[in-house]
Amino acid sequence: MALRIIFMGTPEFSVPTLRSLHNAGHEIVACYTQPPRPAGRRGLELTPSPIHKAGEELGIAVFTPKSLKGSDEQTEFATHKADVAVVVAYGLLLPQAVLDAPRHGCFNGHASLLPRWRGAAPIQRAIMAGDSETGMMVMQMEAGLDTGPVAMTRKVPITPEMTAGDLHDTLSQEGAALMVEAMAALEDGVLTLTPQSEEGVTYASKISKEETRIDFTQTAEQVQRHIMGLSPFPGAWTEMRLSGKSTRVKVLRAALSGEGVQIACANKDVILTRLQKAGSKPMNADEFLRGNTFDGLA
């Protein structure tokens, strides 16, 4: 029999998992996602999340509570009589009453090799730290931050050419396939859970605005990883003198060799290969240099 699943997610990263569980024949009894947010140039239009749109497209009832801490919200959640809740980048804290409501509890798809990179920004932090691999994990949720026992793992290599956006897309697809596999095992009563190691715990704190500016006093390797780990969002940036004018420039890709805008770092040059001026489209370095005279950093 198919599982009765409550799906909980918000961004584009979550959508492949929702669609894959639906396509696998499970009964998605509800989608929980964060409320519509202001968007558009003036921020006046309320825009539903990617999961909100996908849920409606699939004919699933969508719920958008601001919090799940209230008794009314918790009672409503329990009325779905779900076998399990699947959580992928939902963005709201799940109180114990919510964790306990489904028959098999709640399972989270997390984008790291736990216990490394628990928390909000595991994809960016893995690249910025120079990790050679990461992955997706399906774990049973408990009250702690990403501390629950692990059901399944799928590893993914991180190459030097990979931005956070590239890794995001890869992990999103891998995570969808892994969750389908995990839910099939749960349905068959053969899903096994392994406690996380107490060693090697690290935390992937949210990216702050203050750390997005590029520090070229670091090594070229550190600068390159910083740029790739913050691309495309929020984006690492610097101030350049272009045609005699100080200009803020977002750097979207960098390398340690090749052609591009060369900037001296602590040990050697880093090569900026894809850049974007404020108000302009992203450009490869050759196109960027054809339209701008680069006079160094501002």
pLDDT in tens, 98-121: 999 999 999 999 999 999 999 999
pLDDT at 39: 77
Per CATH, domain 4-203 is 3.40.50.300? no
- Contact indicator for 157, 130 with CB cutoff of 8 Å: no
**115 labelled ligand-binding:** yes
pLDDT at 41: 64
What does pTM read for this prediction? 0.94
- Contact indicator for 8, 32 with CB cutoff of 8 Å: yes
Same fold, 4-203 and 209-297: no
CA–CA dist 84, 108 (Å, integer) = 11
pLDDT at 291: 85
Identify the CATH homologous superfamily for domain 209-297.
Formyl transferase, C-terminal domain (3.10.25.10)
- Contact indicator for 112, 129 with CB cutoff of 8 Å: no
Q: For residue 250, give the 3-state DSSP assignment.
A: strand
pLDDT at 42: 64
Residue 73 has pLDDT above 70, yes or no: yes
pLDDT in tens, 259-269: 999 999 999 99
> Domain limits of the chain?
4-203, 209-297
pLDDT in tens, 140-186: 999 999 999 999 999 999 999 999 999 999 999 999 999 999 999 99
- Radius of gyration for the alpha carbons in the chain, expressed in angstroms and rounded: 22
**195 labelled ligand-binding:** no
**48 labelled ligand-binding:** no
- Other beta carbons within 10 angstroms of residue 58's beta carbon come to 15
Residue 134 has pLDDT above 90, yes or no: yes
**282 labelled ligand-binding:** no
Nearest Cα to Cα of residue 225 among 125, 93, 98, 154 = 125
CA–CA dist 36, 19 (Å, integer) = 20
Name the percent of the chain lying above pLDDT 90.
Answer: 94
